[in-house]
Structure 1
């Protein structure tokens, strides 16, 4: 299978994780409209909604998956991706034929287009332009960029960057961001065409307006996929290319650049002042230095002012002490700025001073939040190098008490094991600190405890079970624990699944029906391990009789083999 596809069942399990992989098993019959292309596999999966899935693998890079379900939109390889991957693996023998067919269709279309006359191609294009407004607008823009009317190009580029047609309640949601990004990308193409047509000076001015326009609206777009960021980068590159070609006034260019970098519109584009050193020359760079220094002196705590001043000093070969002075003018309360200073000093070959600044950051950190985690790691690494292992454990212990999280618990565990004190004393003290940091609550549904996470991370499932019974687990932690123990303790896991199924009987909605189906599948697995399939059949029959008016639920149970 791997030779034909480039991925295996184990790859799907690794990408999705055990829980999403198992959920995906229940969606095999919900996959429809499957299409295997040359490198991409697309399909629709019926869940709470009809979700579009795309798997990409070209035999060179790793398998990737995209799905427009809420979990998939967060960048996860979801259960719907798993289902599509498993269906494709199930027909792996036919994949080479399907890919060859896709390649053949592409080649046939290309050959057919090449065989058409100019008049036939123009007629075909006109036909599609009459039906596709977006295509017409894109080509109109390219035509304008190749012509002489810069005003039309400017107007069309700014309209391409306008988010209003895509915004719901003033915000471009994830579902609409892809379409907006594809439209906005045409603005980059048009700017480059403007430069290529010999109007680089015009392209400079239009690009500046475009960058400002996108900068103002970037915060109103859900750019989880980074498409809008790519457009912003493209606009910045098109502006720089136009500047290199047109060679605008260096001082005026410096004025615009520094103003753009200081007014917060650079978050999307990430323009670097010193990428323009050829365009600015010494007069422009001198003007930029003057403006940056003045801005920093006026607002030494401003983020943009600090960053530009730092870049100015580094690019100009400024002393490390000058850099330290810039950072020391605004020390973050969690010690992060102390860490930045420490790294600068260490890079300059002054490690004792670096450690002094880092330790000062630990002492001066706001007690409410505790010191920055990276700062603690920096100090611990330097202590480890000099054999101060006991000091490392002490720091990690203090951080756990100040910030009881799974990550701080794991860091303390690593340090104490290195010191040989974890099992002997440190673990019990750490768990007691986590236990004291939370209050047990009977039947809690949300807001699980770090204690539960730590015990499960240790693999101490018996202690985790007891902590859950004592009221330290929320619903998600109960279910995660049930998933972990059901191989050895299926009866206990079954009790958890049934407990969370019962409240769902009184609820309605697609999400509820999907959740109930998943829990029933898990319960069935437990009954199979216990050899009590008949008992599960009786339970399921009673549940279906009780819930028979919920037609969507009945359909979903049928789809997942729960008749």
Structure 2
């Protein structure tokens, strides 16, 4: 029997939050191409663009949602997911029947395929191969790995890693990266199949070429989601598996590994040299040590050389002082290397020396680079452990003066509260630092001040409002402040929302219409709080009359009941 819906209206509100849930109410009529399968629900929602939505209603994990809108791609249950969920809830009575129908279609297809003869299935397969070049290419590769012609396998694997069919203007953009990754993953499958078929030696050579090929193009791919990195890791794993099976010459393997790891094109992979210890054996490890030491001595400031030398020392149980010498040969201008050394000394049970190195890092950090935030936190934590709270406050105060950021303000606030000096004196001085760091302006401001963000972070909304009126806020901060005070001061918030609407009257585009709609909804809430709904109705009627030629805007306002 088909399973009924496993989620409710309250589940949608919980997953999305009140704001996204309320926005989703206005998109019910924008849902199209709704399909309800056994566990998945898919649809298209017309927003700023046509967004694809998928809801998964699992019996154990509950409801999850995915949408390809920018907010959804960040992992959020967005307003488009809400809209699809609400539409499905609206036809909940028919959902079990639709799921039963989907299951029935799958069963019929399976039974039909089971009843076909070998010749009939081959005919279907050939028809599909003629229409789908990608599938044909994948099957050609599988056929080649089952044969004996390594040249064909090599050619097909390298073609799978070719970015040119996916590159626009010589670069694989974010929108095309997933499709490229799906194709490139077939190269990993082929290499594993090559090893499994008893041709591990061939797999060793081809996988090395594949790693180099991907390394050459990785810098020209937008891999924000890490999908190409996953392919690179798969190629590395396939190479290691082939080496374990084929047992290539250990010295030559060591030379290839070190050369590969020192290459600037190695960004795509994350190979750990010492996962190859079984393949290298003592002869290969000896050659590895020789090459790594020589490389570091020739270029002690090289990142890759330093990293390999560090791994070598740790793997061989080298002394802490030798490791410190490696780091001390190239000290970062922001003090981060001093922090690395301090942590090594702490691990070695030498905390006084660790603190000395960390304090030295604070002194030697160049103003335009540092000090490194983690280094400051390290020193502050050690001071706090020994009751030096006043020193923590001094350090945090100096950092705020050097870099007046919201994070620095928060850190000083935490330190001063622990020392009991925040409200007594420190808060006023900290705010004056922020006030002096960014002069107010009477015109249109681009980029808000840290002062406004800090005051809102303190929850001091009255002072933040006054600072905004004095010229410290940009439009983003005005709106954020209005959202915070609308419950207590709806008249002031309304002024901000109406001011934000005015410049949008002269603009066009889906994003403009969406923003105007959101501001109108917020303005309506303020009028309701003030009891002036009639005034809002008059304003809205005038705005609609003025903007009536913008049909998309009118449709959006209709969907939201405006």
TM-score norm. by structure 1 comes to 0.93
Match in the other structure for 1:314: 314
1:68–1:175 CA contact under 8 A, matched in 2: no
Question: What SS does structure 1 have at the residue aligned with 2:277?
Answer: helix
Instruction: State the alpha-carbon separation in 1 of the partners of residues 490 and 528 from structure 2.
Output: 9
Match in the other structure for 1:326: 326
1:141–1:190 CA contact under 8 A, matched in 2: yes
Question: What SS does structure 2 have at the residue aligned with 1:508?
Answer: coil
Question: What SS does structure 1 have at the residue aligned with 2:43?
Answer: strand
Q: State the Cα distance separating 1:87 from its structure 2 match.
A: 4.5
Match in the other structure for 2:50: 50
Q: 1:167 to 1:77 in 2, by over 3 A?
A: farther
Match in the other structure for 1:143: 143
Match in the other structure for 1:214: 214
1:230 is the counterpart of 2:230:
yes
Match in the other structure for 1:359: 359
1:444–1:473 CA contact under 8 A, matched in 2: no
1:29–1:560 CA contact under 8 A, matched in 2: no
1:252-276 deviation per Cα after TM superposition (whole angstroms, max 9, x unaligned): 1111111111112222210111111
Unaligned runs of 5+ in 2: none
Match in the other structure for 1:259: 259
Unaligned runs of 5+ in 1: none
Question: What SS does structure 1 have at the residue aligned with 2:266?
Answer: coil
Instruction: State the alpha-carbon separation in 1 of the partners of residues 93 and 363 from structure 2.
Output: 64
| 1:128-527 equivalence runs, <5 A | 128-527=128-527
Q: State the Cα distance separating 1:249 from its structure 2 match.
A: 1.0
Q: 1:488 to 1:193 in 2, by over 3 A?
A: same
Instruction: State the alpha-carbon separation in 2 of the partners of residues 367 and 449 from structure 1.
Output: 22
Q: 1:526 to 1:50 in 2, by over 3 A?
A: same
Q: State the Cα distance separating 1:540 from its structure 2 match.
A: 1.4
Q: State the Cα distance separating 1:549 from its structure 2 match.
A: 1.8
* 308-317 or 68-77, which deviates more: 68-77
Q: State the Cα distance separating 1:30 from its structure 2 match.
A: 2.2
* 502-511 or 3-12, which deviates more: 3-12
* 47-56 or 22-31, which deviates more: 22-31
1:180-222 deviation per Cα after TM superposition (whole angstroms, max 9, x unaligned): 1111111111111111111111111111111111111112111
Q: How many residue pairs get matched?
A: 560
| 1:104-115 equivalence runs, <5 A | 105-115=105-115
1:5–1:59 CA contact under 8 A, matched in 2: no
2:333–2:370 CA contact under 8 A, matched in 1: no
Question: What SS does structure 2 have at the residue aligned with 1:357?
Answer: helix
Q: 1:138 to 1:506 in 2, by over 3 A?
A: same
Q: State the Cα distance separating 1:131 from its structure 2 match.
A: 1.6
Instruction: State the alpha-carbon separation in 1 of the partners of residues 10 and 426 from structure 2.
Output: 37
2:171–2:220 CA contact under 8 A, matched in 1: yes
Instruction: State the alpha-carbon separation in 2 of the partners of residues 538 and 185 from structure 1.
Output: 59
Question: What SS does structure 1 have at the residue aligned with 2:48?
Answer: coil
Q: State the Cα distance separating 1:498 from its structure 2 match.
A: 0.8
RMSD: 2.4
Q: 1:549 to 1:368 in 2, by over 3 A?
A: same
| 1:18-33 equivalence runs, <5 A | 20-33=20-33
1:369–1:403 CA contact under 8 A, matched in 2: no
Q: State the Cα distance separating 1:523 from its structure 2 match.
A: 1.5
Instruction: State the alpha-carbon separation in 1 of the partners of residues 390 and 94 from structure 2.
Output: 61
Question: What SS does structure 1 have at the residue aligned with 2:51?
Answer: strand
2:181–2:231 CA contact under 8 A, matched in 1: yes
